Structure 1
């Protein structure tokens, strides 16, 4: 019996008391599937065979054949499926046919770079008799002499990381002219890591890279490799502008895996993980333990080592913040077997070669299915049986998944989100771009958002305009040094207070919370107490100390609404999306005993507030809800606070995020709103698109939170439903029953006699027109009634003083298509209120730019709240997908093969001439086109548009 089987038997027989196995899923072994790659150079075929590669998996063959045709490709197959061959084969083939050919390999971590260099050097030696293949690493560890030699005589393959591309290649591209002139392929490994802040920065780095490549006469082919995510093609396109072929199905073999969901019951996830790790070490199983934080990584490694006896030397922690040489030593010991167990943050999630592993312990849900699959993919690479064990934390999300294991195993990977339009990110990269090459206002990189940003930079003196304002220069010689690709703020360096030894680094926002004066800081199993946080020099000084307590920051937060970008009615108020100004003040910290977590005291801090603007969404609750809550003798503020925790806690179930990427504020009376509100915001200055995505899925968010709170059996609230481990006010006050009432009314479809849909404009196709016919055994499509609306105005935007005054434009006619009668109904301006009453009878109102235009115009002529109607605004859906707008005419031309009969200016002319019938007929035709686009998208799941390259492309839609 294998060690994995023995451990599973122990779990099944209850040998580890207090750890309950909630569910087990067996992931069956998979056989290899092979395909051929035709006409490879004989020397390359022989070299590959000498390394043991004689056959190609189906996904490898498919990808290589596409790349040889000049197509960009993204391979999103499981870990350990041989993705490196996909880029090595075409790159080596191009070098054999043209020794001047060059390739750039980008890896997010230095360790990945070193792994790949070894493989390339071996292939290079085997090809030496036929062609000279040179490969070199150019990163922060490369010495100055080697750097100079590489620049003057660049190798065929240059391996580096995003930071070096940004700081050393692009600003000094003239020194790399020979390399850029021969650049044929750009390899982007682990592209799924380029999301959030990192991805938003990288989108600009890639824009700058393509800009420089075009200067040297090339548009390289991109080769992406990714973990399993929902939108690999969309992510790669958003990052680079290239629309790659997507390969998801892998042909690589894999051993059988056992996936267990474990409930630690009373002892907690960390202690349970240590007990299982002890058993695994005794059985000789090579194990990786993943945690959710740096502090927990250090604590589990330290506690496990204390209990391991003679096996203590085989356990080690691994996390970001360690010095490069420390991380490399740990990686080598894992690969060689000198270490049997490593406790890690997500830093070891990627494909660094650490050898064969048998067991993966996830201490808490990683926050996404993508991360779960990626971390679990670390085990079983040798083809032997392996096991993955997810040990649930006490928090709401983990407890919900433990109570609903079928739902957990059915979850699909999430979409990766980036936001290149983040103002603070865009500003810095535009300045860098101008330093590399003068910015022309007509170049592709300068879209409408960039134009606004350039004007702002000009106003602030960071960019200087030419006389005719067609070119922009930067006065900064090397602005790149001030741009951190992995964050939007500054970094603090941590030093040993006594010796001055450099310990690591911490991001600016985290520095205030984790390395404030008095904070307990853990590093490589050692405990330190922070003596000083120097704000002027961005340095932290910490002294070694043995303490029996840990620290937790206490924060105060305030928010100001800067701009409302979208809103819609709920049953008891509004759901809004917009820009927020957040002020967060770390005002004090608690000391708590490690054993028992008893509070030892509260120590005030004198730190400046952190102030930043970001994207956010917020629910308002009318005063009626407050009266209802207080009439029941419940705590209104406690309910709002619990509602905030509940919504944030289940956010990872609907979008790719970690709760630590989000912030929240609950207030019983917001100064600007004059009512109670719950705010959720992106924790990154400028925002990275998380709340924008959640706003569209808010109905699902409310439903999830309601399910989590109602399924928890506690009476007053607990870590399994409304307690948050990162609450800045110590989880006080909280009222679960009040929060449940708020979720009930938010989820209601109507309030009094007025129908008001909660949240999402999206209408799920299955729910909207598929119903089960009880008289038959098959599904019958029943089309629910809907209306399609369009209006024509009396005055132009210019005549009323701009688009901001569209409520003054008046309406000549509004036309509605009634799907019940299949007839068109017309309304004039005097009938605008009747129009609202008429539309109330439909479960869905469809249109194109209804929310930002039609409804605002109508609001100026009728006392009716059109925004309360259940609306599908197709333009907003398209803009959310593409990041930019398309005209109705463009979509009709490429999707339906038809054109609009006229335009809005012609309709204004007809109004002035009294040609009413022409206006009505034109408006009817627009309504018919809108209807046909809606039906096409509803039934087929996509629309078609023509991209900038002149190619017709599908836009996925879900209405």
Structure 2
């Protein structure tokens, strides 16, 4: 096979180690390019420049966007990554600047790196234009936090045709100091908003006001710019742009760009997702495939890059991490090395999700589902440019959405992109922007800015409350202008947070003070988040350093943190209550009713957990005495019918645990419908809400004022309920796990949780009536045989049961991943055909292989991953090719966690192991092979009897942490 992509995929599907972990493989065929010419020809000089750059014609979507932009219509281009969206705005802007040398354009990018990339592309095209008398080359410059004060002043005093910036600079520099930008604003013809889909949620609510303030000042200076938006493929690009600006836009949604054939592989790893990603990366490096690996956090990005380099061999210097927090020059160097091919792999957070050009890539590996269909395809779109074949690999974590798509890959490919939502008139956010607007330019009744009903009404309320002041006209005595007492309120408003901002100060040692005697600020948080993340005792991470919060001063809005090395992280605990302020909508949803409205949430942080960094073990709980956090937001709530509660309790199920599990699972599934993260949502489940007059499950936007997330979920409540039920019903765990009903941010530590009760509640709502009651899963004695119709393997005619004992421990050979070096002291096999036990030493592995090949099924307890790895280091036979049933793997798939053989054997058979592996290693050093053999035979017998019990009865038993004997259904 000459195609390295095809070779890579074939090797993956044939791999002894990885093939079993492939949950789905699909080939998405490529498409041919569709071209078109703009209706109005380019000027000769621009046409010549395009020809010199190799562009003889445009893609169809580029031509459509250019036609509308040149006609002065607002446009949104929502097409896949690498479809040439930059030309959709660069060409009309450059064409206009050639015709009017005084014309200006403002380009807004959410990341500084995007601005650098776009400046390079703009200047390359402009550099092909002629120079000399009468000729004009459009100019561009970047104005952001990395621009020196000297060049900032030059840009303000003599602005280029195009200023490339970001939202923060518009808010903090351009709008409050608009008089210094008067020449630029007066000539502003175009506003380009790149990656507009990133302006959603809280950031979107801020940007809705920033854009309105910008349009207000443009109108003041006589300009009415055309907006050109570019976006990834989302479900509602027109609605999003209208919410952000109040403008009507023309959508360009069908890409005319070519796309190569793409292999999409879903991998559900047996072990660590990060380690599986490294295996995929190593195989790609060996084929010199250019690869990008996406991780979900900065910490994991650094760790994967470190581990990949350690195991990268000759390619270790061609791998690099890339994330926010790197210095600008570091990021530029990595981008250049990747684009040139010097780097083969980059490990990134979402920082490289957007359209930064790092050259053609072959493979995209995502460690964890990115949270939305849109983001998955956008990240995957970074590979396979210019019609090249490519591979996109999604490595699942244990998160509910990850596991949902591993079980339902067809739903991933059939599901349309999510919609980006925001609340453009979030009162908490809007209030502060209105004060900024009044500081920029006196508000006057009747002006365009106040004609939107929500804005005008809120200004009146702020005047009534005294936050804005209405000046009375001295001549007429009538109210006139509306002003603010504050001169520069902009610095207290963080565009990426809700509420007041709190500064986190480093108080480590006396040498941490600045020359002015102030403590250095290492970060900011809005006050709402600070209660959960920066309370006294909380562990705070910044730039790879660990800090412990010492104090939170609400008066000065300061959080004081001291650098410390600790082996734990913290998680807040607390309680919540909700009050319904206003019902905005009610509808029937299957067998119940769902409502949407305004809520007041009261959250009391009562303490925090300390959990070990390694393993997450609970180290202790510390109480806190903090004031309650109260905020108003938007949310939806499901009524739980009284009959459902009665039926649930009649079946001895934990009703509160059931609706609590329902709440967690629904929040986990809501990002299927709305472009959000579960951390942006909150929930409360209550067995008796006084305003509902019964049980209810609330899901709300987790930021003051709301972000429009649950507003859309309300319209899709039926799909949310059915998907939640499907997720709970199909998760293979028995009692609940992070893939279905556990939440990583639950304030009560995921207690109480009852998965069976959640299933009952949701099924009752689905059918519209309470179904027959179900019994508790916990039982003390064997009960009914395996349920008819449940999936079950046919009984093998002849089976074998295997166990081995090793000569060396993991520590002695360099870790568990070097099981191939551990050696064999004895291997014992039960043969059902001869009803006898057989023993083999390391010098008789040929006999062992001959025996194993006789069986229709080889059974063991962790034998596929461990025993076969040990044997594979000693004998060339492909042990993983044997038909195998690993009881540990089966149990782990059902429960979501591992159990020891001793636990299951004692609970099911009444007897456990006679010794342990450490004792067997000690016996080997003492030469007591007889004792090792006896111990190994006992394990084989226990595994055999456990298998036979499960096959006969359809279940086995184990003992949970509460000491209860729990029945576990199996399909052996």
Fold match by TM threshold 0.5: yes
| Native 8 Å contact 2:549 2:559 kept in 1 | no
Q: Deviations over 1:158-211 (max 9, x none)?
A: 111111112211222222222122221111111111111112211111111221
Q: CA deviation at 1:664?
A: 1.0
SS at match of 2:293: strand
Q: Deviations over 1:116-164 (max 9, x none)?
A: 1122223333323321422111112222222222222221111111111
1:469-494 alpha-carbon deviations (Å, 9 max, x no partner) = 35311221122222222221325446
Matched residue, 1:87: 89
What is the CA-CA distance between 1:343 and the residue it aligns to? 3.1
Q: Aligned in 2, Cα 1:623/1:233: closer, same or farther, shift over 3 Å?
A: closer
The answer to whether structure 1 residue 335 and structure 2 residue 343 are counterparts is: no
| Whole-angstrom CA distance in 2 between matches of 1:268 and 1:611 | 39
Larger gyration radius, structure 1 or structure 2: 2
Query: In structure 2, what is the equivalent of residue 157 of structure 1?
Result: 162
Find the counterpart in structure 2 of residue 476 from structure 1: 486
> Where do residues 4-153 of structure 1 align in structure 2 (5 Å cutoff)?
4-17=5-18, 20-37=21-38, 38-127=40-129, 128-129=131-132, 130-153=135-158
**1:707 alignment partner, one of 717, 726, 739:** 726
Distance 1:201 1:414, change over 3 A: same
State the match for 1:429 in structure 2: 433
Q: Aligned in 2, Cα 1:323/1:679: closer, same or farther, shift over 3 Å?
A: farther
CA contact (8 A) 1:520 1:527 kept: no
User: How far off its partner does 1:427 sit?
Assistant: 0.8
- Write out per-residue CA displacement over residues 195-236 of structure 1, whole angstroms, 9 at most, x where no aligned residue: 111122111111112212222222111111111012212211
Name the CA distance, whole Å, in 2 between partners of 1:308 and 1:502.
38
Answer whether contact 1:532 1:541 (CA < 8 A) is retained. Answer: yes
**Distance across 2 between alignment mates of 1:180 and 1:696:** 41
Shift of 1:88: 1.4
Report how far residue 47 of structure 1 moved. 1.8
| Kept in 2: contact 1:495–1:504 (CA 8 A) | no
Shift of residue 614 of structure 1? 1.0
Is the contact between residue 298 and residue 523 of structure 1 (CA under 8 Å) also seen in structure 2? no
Q: Distance in 2 between matches of 1:356 and 1:523?
A: 33
Q: Is the 8 A contact 2:360 2:383 kept in 1?
A: yes
Corresponding residue of 2:475:
none
Q: Deviations over 1:707-746 (max 9, x none)?
A: 1112223322222321222323222211111111211222
- Quote the residue 1:286 is aligned against: 290
User: What is the aligned counterpart of 1:186 among 188, 191, 196?
Assistant: 191
CA distance in 1, matches of 2:307, 2:568: 14
Q: C-alpha distance in 1, partners of 2:502/2:20?
A: 40
TM-score by structure 2 length?
Answer: 0.73
- Please say if residues 294 and 319 of structure 1, whose CA atoms lie closer than 8 Å, have aligned partners that are also in contact: yes
Partner residue of 1:541?
A: 561
**114-123 or 307-316: bigger deviation:** 307-316
CA contact (8 A) 1:35 1:56 kept: yes
Which residues of 2 match residues 205-224 of structure 1 at below 5 A?
A: 205-224=210-229
Q: Say which of 460, 476, 479 aligns to 2:465.
A: 460
Give the conservation status (yes or no) of the 8 Å contact 1:615–1:691.
yes
Deviation at 1:667, TM superposition (A): 1.9
Call closer, same or farther: CA 1:507–1:7 in 2, change over 3 Å: farther
Q: 1:87 to 1:643 in 2, by over 3 A?
A: same
1:486 aligned residue: 496
Q: Distance in 2 between matches of 1:311 and 1:532?
A: 44
Contact 1:617–1:679 under 8 Å retained in 2: yes
1:62 match: secondary structure = helix
Secondary structure at 2:105 match in 1: strand
Q: Aligned pairs, how many?
A: 749
SS of residue paired to 2:448: coil
Deviation at 1:331, TM superposition (A): 3.6
- Give the superposition deviation at 1:294: 4.0
Measured against aligned partners, the alpha-carbon deviations of 1:800-858 in whole angstroms (never above 9, x if no partner) come to xxxxxxxxxxxxxxxxxxxxxxxxxxxxxxxxxxxxxxxxxxxxxxxxxxxxxxxxxxx
How far, CA to CA, are the matches of 2:114 and 2:467 in structure 1? Answer: 37
Give the secondary-structure state (helix, strand or coil) at the position aligned to 1:678: strand
Which residue in the other structure is 2:443 paired with?
439
Shift of 1:269: 2.5
Match of residue 682 from structure 2: 663
Cα offset, 1:8, TM superposition: 1.6
Regions of 4+ moved over 6 Å: none
Contact 1:669 1:676 (8 Å CA) reproduced: yes
Check whether the contact 2:592–2:768 (CA below 8 A) recurs between aligned residues.
no
Q: Give the Å deviation of 1:701.
A: 1.0
- The residue that corresponds to 1:694 in the other structure is 713
Contact 1:322–1:504 (CA under 8 A) maintained in structure 2: no
Q: CA deviation at 1:575?
A: 2.2
C-alpha distance 596-164 of structure 1, shift in aligned 2 (>3 A):
closer
TM-score under structure 1 length normalisation:
0.74
Please name the residue that 2:575 is paired with.
Answer: 556
1:369 matched residue in structure 2: 373
Aligned to 1:344: 348
In the TM superposition, what is the alpha-carbon distance from 1:336 to its structure 2 partner? 4.1
Q: Bigger shift: 302-311 or 349-358?
A: 302-311
Q: CA deviation at 1:632?
A: 1.0
1:377 Cα deviation after fit: 0.9
Q: CA RMSD in A?
A: 2.7
Shift of 1:112: 1.0
Are the counterparts in 1 of residues 591 and 766 from structure 2 also a CA contact under 8 Å?
A: no
Query: 1:79 deviation in Å?
Result: 1.1
Distance 1:738 1:341, change over 3 A: same
State the secondary structure of the residue aligned to 2:479.
coil
Match of 1:260, SS state, is: strand
Match of 2:250 in 1: 245
Cα deviation for residue 518 of structure 1 reads 4.8
SS class of match (1:466): strand
Distance 2:600 2:592 in 1: 22
- Whether the 8 Å CA contact 1:323–1:504 is kept in 2: the answer is no
Q: For residue 546 of structure 2, what is the aligned residue in structure 1?
A: 528
Q: How does 1:254-403 map to 2 (within 5 A)?
A: 254-264=259-269, 266-308=270-312, 311-322=315-326, 324=328, 326-403=330-407
- Between the aligned partners of 1:495 and 1:310, the Cα distance in structure 2 is 41
**Distance (whole Å) between structure 2 residues aligned to residue 453 and residue 10 of structure 1:** 62
